[in-house]
Amino acid sequence: MVRVEHEVTINRPPGEVFAYLTDLEKLPEWQATAISGRLESDRLETGATAVEVRRFLGREMESTIHVTDMEPDRRFAGEVVSGPLEYRFSHQLEPEGDGTKVMFTIEGDPGRYFSLSEPVVERQVRRQVADDFRTLKLLLETQTN
C-alpha cells in the first residue's frame, strides 16, 4: 500500500483555492500527468461521478472517480472505481492567516505490476504530488482578481 501526504499553504482564500481544485477541467493546468477531467454528474457533490484521463507509462489511461466526500471550501475526496490503478484521495482545506492550508492525501495499491517496486512507486508519487502542488500554488498566487 502506498500512502503519500502533502501540505501546502496557498496565499488565497479557501473559496478560491477550493473552486480551482475542484474544477476538473483545470486539472491539466496544474497536474503534470492529467490530460483531461470532466464531471459526469449534474453537480460536483458527494456521490457524483467524474472521469479523468492521465498519461501513465507513455499511454493515455482513463479512470472513473466517485466523489466520496464534498464540503464546499473545506473538503473534497474521492476514489477511483474503474481504471488501471485503484486509489483514494482527499483534499482538506483550512484558513491559515490570509491564505489556505491544503492537506492532501493519496493512497492506493500499486497492483500486481508494481508490487515489487512499491518503494519506487511511492517516491515517484511523492515527487509528482510535490511538483503538482507547487504548480497549483504558483498559479493561484499569481492570478489577479
Please give the pLDDT value at position 123: 87
Q: How far lies 77's CA from each of 15, 67, 123, in Å?
A: 16, 6, 22
Distance CA 121, CA 126 (A): 9
Residue 99's identity, in one-letter code, is G
Q: Which three cell numbers stand for residue 126?
A: 511523492
Would the CA dihedral through 134, 135, 138, 139 be positive or negative? Answer: negative
Q: Which residue has the cell 518503494?
A: 119
The CATH homologous superfamily for domain 2-142 is START domain (3.30.530.20)
Q: Are 106 and 125 in contact (CB under 8 A)?
A: yes
pLDDT, averaged in runs of 10, over the chain (145 residues): 94 97 96 96 96 88 96 97 90 96 91 65 89 97 81
The predicted pLDDT at position 111 comes to: 66
Q: How many Å apart are CA 44 and CA 57, to the nearest integer?
A: 29
Cβ-Cβ contacts under 8 Å for 141 (sequence gap 6 or more):
10, 11, 12
- Domain boundaries along the sequence of the chain: 2-142
pLDDT score of 58: 81
